[in-house]
């Protein structure tokens, strides 16, 4: 199964078990990385890295290291090809098996309450941050938020800003979707914003 096929199955699975606001290819770490699947739910942000049968695992440890800086929980979703290799990952990383027969949670990810606040705030755009705080640059605004707020309040602010951004696209998906999600829905949820 290719990456888009896995994303589609993951989308169906998330809707059936947990819900939350879903986005694909969400930028993080100053736009140097993309989160294959991001789910914002209950004031936490979950990342899912997709490894299709056409991928390799050569950069996976580096990717997971970066994910853990920004997300409360991290999963890797794969087909049968890599499942035995993924079982060797550290126990904090969750594993999701995606096959033609459906999706199966192999190992639940550990949820971290404390994540790097700077990197979390950096996932917000300058204009999103500037609507709440003053500063000449994104870096200055982030430093002001960290300096002038309790950690929990700053984290909650960042999560709410991120959720608000992806929810605008997700709401269009909910309004327009068919009974069962399709690949068109995967492409829609990969958009950063929708202009009418």
Q: What percent of the chain has pLDDT over 90?
A: 64
pLDDT digits (tens, 9 = 90+) for 39-54: 998 889 999 999 998 9
pLDDT at 196: 47
pTM above 0.85, yes or no: yes
What does R_g of the chain's alpha carbons equal in angstroms? 17
For range 76-92, the mean pLDDT: 93
The pLDDT mean for the chain works out to: 90
Output the CA torsion 125→129→135→137 (10° steps): -10
Domain ranges of the chain: 3-180
CB 166 within 8 A of CB 40: yes
pLDDT digits (tens, 9 = 90+) for 108-152: 999 998 889 999 999 999 999 998 888 889 999 999 999 999 999
pLDDT at 83: 92
Core vs surface per residue 173-182: b (16+ CB within 10 A) or e: beeeeeeebe
Contacts of residue 184, Cβ cutoff 8 Å, sequence gap at least 6: none
**SS3 (DSSP) at 95:** strand
């Amino acid at each position: 199964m290719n990456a888009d096929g896995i994303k589609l199955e993951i989308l169906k699975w998330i809707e059936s078990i947990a819900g939350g606001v879903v986005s694909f290819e969400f930028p993080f770490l100053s736009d140097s990385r993309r989160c294959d699947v991001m789910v914002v739910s209950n004031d936490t942000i979950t990342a899912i890295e997709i490894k299709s049968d056409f991928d390799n695992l050569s950069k996976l440890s580096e990717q997971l290291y970066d994910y853990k800086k920004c997300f409360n929980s991290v999963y890797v979703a794969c087909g049968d090809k890599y499942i035995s290799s993924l079982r060797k990952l550290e126990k904090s990383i969750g594993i999701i098996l995606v096959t033609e027969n459906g999706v199966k949670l192999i190992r639940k990810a550990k949820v971290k309450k404390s994540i790097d606040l700077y990197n979390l705030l950096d996932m917000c755009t300058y204009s999103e941050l500037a609507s709440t705080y003053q500063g000449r640059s994104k870096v200055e605004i982030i430093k002001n938020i960290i300096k002038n707020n309790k950690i929990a309040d700053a984290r909650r602010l960042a999560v709410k800003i991120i959720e608000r951004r992806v929810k605008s696209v997700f709401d269009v998906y909910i309004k327009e979707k068919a009974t069962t999600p399709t690949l068109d829905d995967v492409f829609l949820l990969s958009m950063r914003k929708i202009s009418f």
